[in-house]
A and B are shown apart, each in its own frame.
Chain A
């Protein structure tokens, strides 16, 4: 059985030739939650965008393949690629404030995609949306469906977006820091909801985050990213128990602990970063795009 998502040696560059992704390889098995963890600027969001086909115009993919359920995106024409991505994937975005269209009510906004893109009947889409709203524990769906986005709280909007992401039964969901823009109490509920729906629907998730605490709670496997390069990949439990790469160890050590809230925050160790920089420079020197 082929992986739900497979990325092979994916590299991308900016117009000035700077590499933003360095031969990234990873695979997400069906029903698996794969965390993609790293500091800001490490390229984790970029990987998600590349999979979904919404990279900024300035970023160019220079090598590598991406396969969704065994189908190579690079071999499809743009229209077929859009259709495949639209039917099998979905996004839970980072900022629930800008991810809903402010001038359209929630209801039509959620059903529109099912009806127009997937060709469902209006009633079927409507009952599906209500079922999903129930699953994300929205108790007054009537009010929510009639609301404009600005009439809902951030947590409510994120629930709506989670419901929308699962509505069309995608095989893969890219969750791009879905809890970062929310306050801490809401974060926990949202995380639990995503985990719950993921289990119920058996959806694979590529979970992009900078928060190791979130990684520990939700994922089975982790890829640690630094400067667009996967420095370590492991089962989540194993990563925390026996981190192999010095950067992973430094990252875990830098995580603030609740047991000692007054300890000052530790940055990632300088010598580790210097070692990483040397490692990357050496890799870049020998690197030529394999094609393109």
Chain B
């Protein structure tokens, strides 16, 4: 009955477009070795600064042109997507788990738990986030897991604050009071009555956070603090593109566009999901 109703309402264009782009980008990242037209690391100085396919002087097989070392831009973007998605999923999930749990506890129990958690969040958010990230990676050492940990450590507060506020307003609802009268324990009420009502917000935030993780990863690789290997990353390509902007604008513009589209899709997808799964909005 529920499924039927969802189908009848149809998917909103927002959900379609955002979800579509994410699906395409994700599939491309997963099957990168099969899809990428060239080896993303292969250098050929004879092919440097080839323009994208619709401009004069383009080579077939190099659809979006090449960078200053003659590496295929499209292949590098596809392989860069792998790191972007791994970071997005892992870092956002970790931040979500920690932040939502603490936010739920602070919002539902209130009192001392709330005071302690809220002060920690305040202090945490006083740190400039990008500086914090750079500092963390510098301490942890570069590498994929460091980047993931750094993003999770910085951004759990985002979940914590929103979920705390939601849990607080839920805790004041009459059905929570009724559950207490009936004799449910506090933790049981938190998990059974409050948690399901904050899930739509968690989902929306999670998707938004994935976009933010992509941005932070790009910033870190832009300043050369992300992955130490030669693996292409979107931030890294943007950094290289910046140097050759006057000879080859495409090296900067395509990764930038990919990044923006992906981040925008994540946030819109999250909002669309929230509207879909919120039983009251539905």
Contacts and interface: CB of A to CB of B under 8 A. Distances in A.
Contacts of B183: 82-83, 85-87, 117
Contacts of A91: 177-178, 181
Contacts of B1: 146
A116 B185 CA distance: 11
Contacts of A104: 196
For the complex of A and B, the 9 pairs showing the least CB-CB separation, nearest first, are A86-B183, A99-B174, A103-B196, A98-B174, A101-B175, A113-B182, A117-B183, A52-B181, A93-B174
The B interface is mostly helix, strand or loop, or mixed, namely: helix
Interface string B169-208: 0000111011011111000000011001101000000000
A117 B279 contact: no
A150 B180 CA distance: 22
Given A104-B196, A150-B279, A150-B280, A99 B175 contact: yes
Contacts of A90: 181-182
Nearest to B277: A103
A53 interface: yes
Nearest to A93: B174
A283 to B, nearest CB: 31
B104 to A, nearest CB: 14
A93 B178 contact: yes
Interface residues of A, number: 28
Contact of B181 (A85, A101, A116, A148): A85
Given A104-B196, A146-B1, A150-B280, A98 B173 contact: yes
Contacts of A113: 182, 184
Interface string B115-144: 000000000000000000000000000000
A95 B174 contact: yes
Contacts of B199: 103
Interface in A20-71: 52-54
Residue of B175, B192, B280 ringed by the most chain A CB atoms within 10 A: B175
A133 interface: no
A125 interface: no
A150 B181 CA distance: 23
A102 interface: yes
Residue of A83, A95, A102, A116 ringed by the most chain B CB atoms within 10 A: A102
A100 interface: yes
A83 B180 CA distance: 10
B196 A117 contact: no
A3 B178 CA distance: 24
A89 interface: yes
Nearest to A99: B174
Given A95-B174, A101-B173, 13 more contacts: A54-B181, A85-B183, A86-B181, A90-B182, A91-B178, A91-B181, A98-B173, A100-B175, A101-B197, A102-B197, A102-B279, A102-B280, A104-B196
